[in-house]
Amino acid sequence: QVQLVQSGGELKKPGASVKVSCKASGYTFTTYDLSWVRQAPGQGLDWVGYISTNNGKTYSAQNLQGRVTMTTDTSTSTAYMELRGLRSGDTAVYYCARAPPPTEAAGLDYWGQGTLVIVSS
């Protein structure tokens, strides 16, 4: 069965960086892309970005451009999301989610369990 398993929670100080991993299994990694979505405590869902697992091309939310990097390691079917220059407003649960290729516009059908990132001094 399809699974996305994320790394554990993190506590970081303001200005630090965090790197969250998302290991996929149960399907061919490069046939689907991945999106990252975050959710601040008690708030709604915010799209962070998208990575093509086929060619590594990335797209990120305008308000995070310059601070977020998304990568993949196809040899281990793992995606990574690194966020730099952390601020208190980055405190959130970060989700990876499987996205269809651009030719098959559809929703995010499988989600990781979420990784809580807390930014606090």
Positions touching another protein (CB under 8 A) are: 35, 37, 44-47, 50, 59, 61-62, 95, 97, 102, 105-109, 111-114
| Residue 61 vs 118, nearer CB to another protein | 61
Minimum CB separation of residue 51 from another protein in Å reads: 10
Residues 82 and 53: their CA atoms lie apart, in Å, by 16
Minimum CB separation of residue 29 from another protein in Å reads: 19
Evaluate whether 58 touches 72 at the Cβ level (below 8 Å). Answer: no
Minimum CB separation of residue 25 from another protein in Å reads: 16
| Residue 19 vs 59, nearer CB to another protein | 59
Evaluate whether 61 touches 48 at the Cβ level (below 8 Å). Answer: yes
| Residue 32 vs 95, nearer CB to another protein | 95
List b or e across 81-100, with b for residues whose CB sees 16 or more CB atoms inside 10 angstroms.
Answer: bebeebeeebbbbbbbbbbe
Neighbours of 4 (CB within 10 A): 21
Evaluate whether 67 touches 89 at the Cβ level (below 8 Å). Answer: no
Minimum CB separation of residue 65 from another protein in Å reads: 11
| Residue 6 vs 77, nearer CB to another protein | 6
